[in-house]
Amino acid sequence: MARLALLSVSDKTGLIEFAQSLVALEFEIISSGGTAQALKQAGIPVMKVSDYTGSPEILGGRVKTLHPRIHGGILARLDQPQDVADLEANQIRPIALVVVNLYPFEQTIAKPDVTLAAAIEQIDIGGPAMLRASAKNFAHLTVLCHPSQYPAYLTELRENGEASLAFRQACALRAFEHTAAYDRAISGYLRQVGAQPAANSPTDSHPGAGIDANVDANPDANINANINANTNANPALPAQYSLEGSQLQALRYGENPHQPAAWYQTGAVPSGWAAAQKLQGKELSYNNLVDLEAARRIIAEFRSQPAAVIIKHTNPCGVALGDQIEQAYTKAFAADPVSAFGGIVALNQPIDAATASQLTQTFLECVVAPGCAPDAAELLRAKSKVRVLVLPDLISGPAQLVKQIAGGFLVQQADDQLTDPNQWQVVTQKQPTPTQLAELLFAWKVCKHVKSNAIVVTQDQTTCGVGAGQMNRVGSVKIALEQAGEKTQGAVLASDGFFPFDDSVRTAATAGIAAIVQPGGSLRDADSIKAADELGIVMVLTGVRHFMH
């Protein structure tokens, strides 16, 4: 008897050619819905699932394959006499191949005008059931969930007569990964639209729902180990957190050549850097992508006036605003031309010819902007190795940030709220001028994205000195002031954390700093404020800290 294949796919890429090959290899095909129609129109012999099961499709197509003749044929263990007997008694044929991919849920929710009702209808039920059943029973059949698997399966058949056990097991793994990603997309969407279960629902109280569910398996053991019990859950974050991605690109290496690395895309629809258009240049590296994201986070702070950012090792070496994008870039470059060599540049406006001409004057790793004029692109080709990317949306970023630690990971909301200077408090006798206040705001926005301990000195809405990642704030102050040099005269200084002593305030004033912005919150704030008053400089407290580790 011919082998039986069940084909039910939303993505019909390569379907007809694959089905023709199956028929040539003496398979019989059963199918449902649009897949059956497509096969029939191509002249491929196919039996509708409803004819095979003897049960019609019901509920507008919601129920098609949920039937014992389908799932019995998938789940039967052909080396178990009782299973074989059950098949014979119920006139069920074993199914040798299941080819299923799921309703396009992620593509649907990516549409800007999608309704909840429309999204719900794209939640596949029969498809995941068949994939999971087939994957569970990989010892006896093959499951395929992506068109890219078709050629390898046909090669297995032509060379061996059937798919090897190793091949079937690899396909089963991919099927479970596919359904897991699908479920995570659904739960993520429902969470986003506010449809998650109440905190005290049976789902949340189930012993397996928590991140440390293994501790609950034996309530008398390790009772103190469950430091993240559901009762201590942060309501601002989900009780369970999953991060799913598909490998978009293998990278040459990670931070260093001995570290393998890859780039993963979240979601079925490319977004963020996965949606960027690369106009020219070499392949992006791991470090390029990390630096590009750091540049994006800073440039997202500036949404009206032309802005340019130059990044080295995730820290800004030059940030500036200008009347035109060319001016913003030349100011940012002049802030630290030595460090800018080999840097990553982000612009918040499209690249024009004048800016492109400036960009070609030095070696850069990457340039990203929301657009690029044709004449600018032509000029940039003179530097063929520089990676030039167009990303129209430089504003949108991840809502949560994830960092792995041994035995788990940490999740926090992104520090992406725009600064509101109306919430600031001027605590010195001397008040800032409107120009100083604008400069303090610029410095504070940049300082937010510098590795802590962070100090940023700016003037004319351009960075002059940056002290990043030092073990103490005094060291960061010293580095930033030394780098700024004579530009400290009349400049402003931003600190991502409070000053526990007044020494840095006095050092800054001696160098010529005219105004300081810092979060405040130290037990010794009064000492720093008193020093600022004695020295005749402005001090503003934001009430918000921006540590970045």
First CA to last CA distance, the chain:
65
12, 146, 278, 313: which one is catalytic? 313
* Residue 277: CA count within 13 A, CB half-sphere: 9
Contact 220, 191 (CB under 8 A): no
**Collapsing DSSP states into helix, strand and coil, what is residue 361?**
coil
Tokens, residue 359 = 């960009």
* 136 part of the active site: yes
Residue with tokens 């991060």: 243
Active-site residue among 12, 136, 430, 530? 136
Q: How far is CA 93 from the centre of its chain?
A: 44
Round to whole Å and give the CA distance between 278 and 380: 13
Count of other CB atoms within 10 angstroms of residue 425: 10
Pull the structure tokens for residue 23. 């028929």
3-state secondary structure of 347: strand
How many CA atoms within 13 Å lie on the side-chain side of 109? 23
Q: Please list, in sequence order, all residues whose beta carbon lies within 8 angstroms of the beta carbon of residue 544, skipping any fewer than 6 positions away.
A: 419, 423, 519
User: Is the link from the previous residue into 222 a cis peptide, with omega within 30 of 0?
Assistant: no
Catalytic status, residue 313: yes
- Return d(Cα 8, Cα 130) in angstroms, integer: 10
Residues in the chain: 549
- Between CA 449 and CA 454 the distance in angstroms is 9
Catalytic residue annotation: 136, 313
